[in-house]
Structure 1
Amino acid sequence: MTRALPGPLPRPRRLPTDEPLATEDYRRLFGVMEAIDHAADLTEFRECLVRALQTWFGFHGVAVLHGDTLAEAVQSDCGVLSGYSPDFLTEYQAGWIGLDPFRDENSFGVLMDSGVVRLGDLPDDAGFVARFLSRHGITDKAAMVIDAGQAGVVYVGVAVQDLPRVPERDLAVLRHLRRHLAPLATEQLNRQRDQRAARAYWRLTPREWDVADLAAQGMTNRQIADRLFITIDTVKKHLTRVLAETGCASRTQLAVRYSTAV
């Protein structure tokens, strides 16, 4: 038998006059959360987050990187990205990676403290935006740092076109989003750490682990290259190293060893 709860009917909470988000902004926040909520592992979590941010925000380019620290996440390039052309990435790696304000160690403290930072709010003595990004149609970028405590850090970089700056409303949604993402990121980072601890005798770099994970899932070199946004030759190089380190003669054997090592 159902029982009526005593007391007057509750009244809905009034939104404060300075409420930073509108209804459509909350739809974007929930849309991203729904897209990643059921990710099976860190690899799927990263890819779903990239696609969700492009879908719900319309960001031109998105990168999701991770590491034990912010410096490792940014500098190791262990993660996935989408929206950047091969020409952009080649030029970036060849001459601009060291001039990226988001990679400057002096900016790490600002990123960790603020959580969400716009590129235009950081010193750019080298003209990173005017001399490099603008030639590729990118007008501004922003970074979101998800602090997962002892589990590590997830760094999210986003880029915009056709706008002078990343909109304030987008930054407001990202600030809310990072708080909701923290528990999921912590869970995924811890899960990956536990899985790799079971294979501690495999001495692989973070990027080699990425390739090994996807190869063990049965992906082809092309699929791995597309997922990690690297060349097929780079996939082959990493896979050769993975097979040698794990003592496997084939991808099939790697998949078997992967499943039995957990």
Structure 2
Amino acid sequence: MTIALPGPAPKPRPLPADEPLSPEDYRRAVGVVEAVDQSTDLAEFRERLVRALKSWFGFLGVTVLHGDTAADALQHGCGVQSGYSAEFMARYADGWIVEDPFRSEEVLAQLAAVGVLRLGDVAADSRFVRQYLRPHGITDKAAMLIEAGPSGVLLVSVAVRDGVPRVPDRDLAVLRVLRRHLAPLAVEQLARHRARAARNEWQLTPREWDVADLAAQGLTNRQIAGRLFIGVDTVKKHLTRVLAATSCASRTQLAVLFNARDTPV
């Protein structure tokens, strides 16, 4: 037996007249969330997020970092990047890193206050933009910060290419919506990662932990270098330290030990 609901059939609430987002924009946000919500760990979450942002938004470059604070994430570079050339990153490390506006305390404070911030709104005509980004075909960047309390932060940055003078307002609006929906997923992944790291008796650094994680998944040194955007020689040094710290004689032993310790008890 069916029971009729009283009153007239409800009508969908209309969007505000000044609604900046279209149904397609909301679909982009949903598409990104759907791409990451089944991630099994933080490493997979980061990589899926990078691919989804490039796919749904067409960003030239995407970086996903994590750490205790935004400054810590930037300082230690614990995360993944995609879309930037080796030359671009080498020049950044060799000197431009100290001029990056997103590394300044003032800009990081603004980012923490608003959640999503466009570089063009805080340093559009800086030397960093004029002499470093633009010669490499990058016209603007934006950053998104998700804070997870004691579990740390997730810091996402995106870049747009020549032909797009700045990160579009609509993209910023979608990123703000996306940030709210990504927050609980990111908080969960960061908390699980922190709990797993807390069980680490090997005294590995965050970068060594990343290398160990990917090596345990079966990636080659070159593949790990590509994922973490570091040199192959750097991967080898980290992996040597990981094997010594864990008393493993081979990558196979490392995989067995690493994955066994990641099994919930």
TM-score, structure 2 normalization: 0.94
User: Given residue 14 of structure 1, which amino acid in structure 2 is its aligned partner?
Assistant: P
Considering only aligned residues, what root-mean-square deviation do their CA atoms show, in Å? 1.4
Whole-angstrom distance in 1 between the partners of 2:93 and 2:8? 64
Establish whether residue 73 from structure 1 lines up as the match of residue 73 from structure 2.
yes
Counterparts in 2 of 1:4 and 1:214: CA distance versus 1, 3 Å: farther
For structure 1, list consecutive stretches of 5 or more residues without a partner in the other structure: none
**How big is each residue's C-alpha offset from its partner over 1:8-40, in whole Å with a ceiling of 9 and x where there is no partner?**
322111111121211111111111111111111
CA contact (8 A) 1:67 1:153 kept: yes
- Alignment length, in residue pairs? 261
**How big is each residue's C-alpha offset from its partner over 1:100-130, in whole Å with a ceiling of 9 and x where there is no partner?**
0001122111010011111112247851000
User: Given residue 197 of structure 1, which amino acid in structure 2 is its aligned partner?
Assistant: A
Counterparts in 2 of 1:198 and 1:4: CA distance versus 1, 3 Å: farther
Deviation at 1:213, TM superposition (A): 0.6
Q: Name the counterpart of 1:198.
A: 199
Q: Name the counterpart of 2:187.
A: 186
Q: Name the counterpart of 1:243.
A: 243
**Equivalence map 1:81-92=2 (5 Å):** 81-92=81-92
**Equivalence map 1:36-51=2 (5 Å):** 36-51=36-51
CA contact (8 A) 1:151 1:189 kept: yes
Whole-angstrom distance in 2 between the partners of 1:178 and 1:10? 30
User: Given residue 160 of structure 1, which amino acid in structure 2 is its aligned partner?
Assistant: V
Whole-angstrom distance in 2 between the partners of 1:45 and 1:3? 45
Describe the SS at the equivalent of 1:249: coil
CA contact (8 A) 1:107 1:122 kept: yes
Describe the SS at the equivalent of 1:139: strand
Deviation at 1:65, TM superposition (A): 0.3
User: Given residue 167 of structure 1, which amino acid in structure 2 is its aligned partner?
Assistant: P
User: Given residue 134 of structure 1, which amino acid in structure 2 is its aligned partner?
Assistant: R
**How big is each residue's C-alpha offset from its partner over 1:122-168, in whole Å with a ceiling of 9 and x where there is no partner?**
24785100011111011111111112222211111111112111110
Whole-angstrom distance in 2 between the partners of 1:260 and 1:146? 30
Describe the SS at the equivalent of 1:156: strand
Establish whether residue 22 from structure 1 lines up as the match of residue 22 from structure 2.
yes
Whole-angstrom distance in 2 between the partners of 1:186 and 1:24? 27
User: Given residue 15 of structure 1, which amino acid in structure 2 is its aligned partner?
Assistant: L
Q: Name the counterpart of 1:258.
A: 258
Q: Which runs of 4+ in 1 moved over 6 A?
A: none
Describe the SS at the equivalent of 2:165: coil
Whole-angstrom distance in 1 between the partners of 2:250 and 2:105? 41
**How big is each residue's C-alpha offset from its partner over 1:169-221, in whole Å with a ceiling of 9 and x where there is no partner?**
0011001110110000001011111222222x111111111001111112111
Deviation at 1:2, TM superposition (A): 4.9
Establish whether residue 214 from structure 1 lines up as the match of residue 214 from structure 2.
yes
Deviation at 1:76, TM superposition (A): 1.1
Deviation at 1:7, TM superposition (A): 3.9
Q: Name the counterpart of 1:153.
A: 153
Counterparts in 2 of 1:258 and 1:3: CA distance versus 1, 3 Å: farther
Establish whether residue 233 from structure 1 lines up as the match of residue 237 from structure 2.
no
Segment drifting more, 124-133 vs 48-57: 124-133
CA contact (8 A) 1:116 1:143 kept: yes
For structure 2, list consecutive stretches of 5 or more residues without a partner in the other structure: none
Deviation at 1:6, TM superposition (A): 4.0
Segment drifting more, 89-98 vs 220-229: 220-229
Describe the SS at the equivalent of 2:95: helix
CA contact (8 A) 1:147 1:154 kept: yes
Whole-angstrom distance in 1 between the partners of 2:87 and 2:224? 19
**How big is each residue's C-alpha offset from its partner over 1:43-76, in whole Å with a ceiling of 9 and x where there is no partner?**
1110111111111111000000001111111211
Deviation at 1:260, TM superposition (A): 2.8
